[in-house]
Chain A
Amino acid sequence: MGQTLFDKIWDAHVVSSNEGFPDILYIDTHFIHEVTSPQAFDGLRARGLPVFRPKQTVATADHNVPTWDQHLPIKEELSRYQVDMLTKNCAEFGIELYGLGHPFQGIVHVIGPELGITRPGGTYVCGDSHTSTHGAFGAIAFGIGTSQVEQVMATQCLLQQRPKRMKIEVNGKLQNGVGAKDIILYIIAQISAAGGTGYAVEYAGDTIRSLSMEGRMTICNMSIEMGARCGLIAPDETTINYVKGREFAPKGEAWDEAVAYWQTLYSDEDADFDSVLSFKAEDIEPMITYGTNPGMGIGVTQHVPETASFEQKQQGSYKKALDYMGLHDDEQLLGKPIDYVFIGSCTNSRIEDLRQVAEFVKGKHKADNVTVWVVPGSKQVQEQAIREGLDKIFDAAGFPLREPGCSACLGMNEDKIPAGKYCVSTSNRNFEGRQGPNSRTFLASPLTAAASAITGVVTDIRSFLKEEELV
């Protein structure tokens, strides 16, 4: 029997496996940030332990940082304290910190890949559920709680049960205007916000293969939104070309050795998956969510489902979601006025996302009723965007380019969507209050978000593309 990609990587990292115990899994790199680390550092101090492998620990400040005037002290006292605490803890325990002002600062799941720290075959954890992003390189990567952050700091290992394996294949040609974000929103809408729980999900098929690394990261990023432990995609030329030459990527002989190993990382043809699902790319429309979990998504031309279409015991939760969103049964979102557009987050804030949005909005201007925030994923993305002149295109369109951070994805800093307002967001969660108390989120792709910003209403990007083709 052959092995899955997941099992190959897992087995290569098992330090100890004992009947009745979870495996002790070795972690190659531990990413930390200001929000889920302070209690873990306190735990180490209480135990009198050092960070076991500080050189395999990488820190940045992202969740809580302002996205304007990052050169000034953080205004909000608690945020400032938390970020200062990270600086102090990293200094005390000998950890490299890419904090505010550092050229490598940014959202932890953007900087790991862009610095060449995330590589095929590795194991990566972080006290953040979107760590699944790094799986796009053919790696095992998942989010952990703070007690586990402390565990990894203390031992560079994690106690973990081996999850089940699922393969999700997507084959065929995507419609014009449909991208990676639509694929993953479609999959989650098909299998629900709990459909992947207990599984490591490998994405495969020619549609997935055709995606750039940025697109693959968008897909793996949202694996957690269907409950999956992690998501991964076998490395190929696209992966290797992306990693090559990056700051911390192996160089010279070490590079050749690494590539030779990476080329062995795929699921064998006779590998056994606990579950296999298949989808057709042609069936996927530009997607948008209407509810309060990422599984509540529809094609942008479709209507909100009727309450009666759900089982009796689910109807209460469903109605609660629609009430919160200010929507009703059978409503069509297309044409619905919106108030905000947020382009950013670890799902969609990479240079490719910004290029795509800039190309679309060039020569256009946002609608008067909409406020647009474009938040780059990292300092490097921001600098690149400026070098390419994207900031000028954004400015002319009324899409100011801000400074990097998690921003309105979770509204920990001041970037909050006001109560009752609708935001078309390229982020990953539409939970109640996620973007600010009583805010209402429609999750969508960068192109759908950009098109909706231009028209001021929920928009089918394909209508623009048709027009532009005619011109």
Chain B
Amino acid sequence: MSTKIFKHIQTSVVPLPIENIDTDQIIPARFLKATTREGFGNNLFRDWRYDNEGNPKTDFVLNEPIYSGKILVAGKNFGCGSSREHAAWAIADYGFDAVVSSFFADIFKGNALNNGLLPVQVSDDFLAKLFAAVFADPHAVIEIDLVDQFIKIVATGEQESFEVNPYKKACMTNGYDDIDYILSKKELITEFEEAR
């Protein structure tokens, strides 16, 4: 089955300069009762975004109309905690195509890649530059190119290359799927089982 294709984006960004954002913040457990993949974006960052009565908290960045775009820029160790893929679904469902941070938790990173959501790991310095750029100009445009593996602050031309697993890059730029790949090796699996 093909998945979403990602090659290149150029867009404004949403800044969230908080470290150790865990998947319970991204999507609290009480919203994990759904049995489909859709609709989690409505509850993305639920408890930071809405008060107990369900009213938007005006000081949270997703509720500040001045910030928008397809890239979420967040503090170090993004996506730590629970393995819930619902976190990646919620971010993608809300409309983000990429998350930028100076460090990602492993399971989140894998889940994002499996959902066409690109995790871009940058240096602490470059992350600071990104935050500075967007706080100076909320409409600052950032370019992410997966094919050539760089991220760029368009106005200043400052850029940094980022790493991505070559296999996952091939999957994301072509819409390939892990299960199709493993099933293409099915004979090896049964051989392995028989040899044990």
Interface size class of B (residues with CB under 8 A): 35 or more
CB pair B20–A193 under 8 Å, yes or no, is yes
Indicate with 1 or 0, residue by residue over B16-38, a CB within 8 angstroms of chain A CB atoms: 01111010110011101111110
CB pair B18–A316 under 8 Å, yes or no, is yes
Q: How far is the CA of A234 from the CA of B103 in the complex (A)?
A: 30
Indicate with 1 or 0, residue by residue over B47-89, a CB within 8 angstroms of chain A CB atoms: 1000010000000000000000000000111001111111010
Q: Does A301 contact B (CB under 8 A)?
A: no
Q: How far is the CA of A143 from the CA of B85 in the complex (A)?
A: 11
Query: How many Å from the CB of A402 to the closest CB on chain B?
Result: 18
Instruction: Give the one of A81, A159, A419, A429 with max B CB within 10 A.
Output: A159
Query: How many Å from the CB of A114 to the closest CB on chain B?
Result: 22
Q: How far is the CA of A111 from the CA of B173 in the complex (A)?
A: 41
Given A36-B83, A82-B33, A227-B77: A145 in contact with B181 (beta carbons within 8 A): no
Given A147-B114, A433-B28, A437-B47: A129 in contact with B182 (beta carbons within 8 A): no
Given A22-B167, A433-B28: A197 in contact with B83 (beta carbons within 8 A): no
Query: How many Å from the CB of A374 to the closest CB on chain B?
Result: 21
CB pair A20–B106 under 8 Å, yes or no, is no
Summed over the interface, the residue pairs from A and B with CB atoms below 8 Å come to a total of 171
Q: Does A38 contact B (CB under 8 A)?
A: yes
CB pair B83–A26 under 8 Å, yes or no, is no
Interface size class of A (residues with CB under 8 A): 35 or more
CB pair A144–B18 under 8 Å, yes or no, is no
Stretch at the interface among B146-154, B155-163, B185-193: B185-193
Closest to A196 in B: B106
Q: Does A66 contact B (CB under 8 A)?
A: no
Stretch at the interface among A90-98, A150-158, A364-372, A459-467: A150-158
Query: How many Å from the CB of A63 to the closest CB on chain B?
Result: 8
* Chain B residues packing against A (C-beta within 8 Å): 1, 17-20, 22, 24-25, 28-30, 32-37, 47, 52, 75-77, 80-86, 88, 103, 105-107, 110-111, 114-115, 128, 165-167, 178-179, 181-183, 185-186, 188-189, 192-193
Question: Can you list the 5 inter-chain pairs with the closest CB atoms, starting with the nearest?
Answer: A145-B85, A143-B83, A145-B111, A38-B35, A78-B33
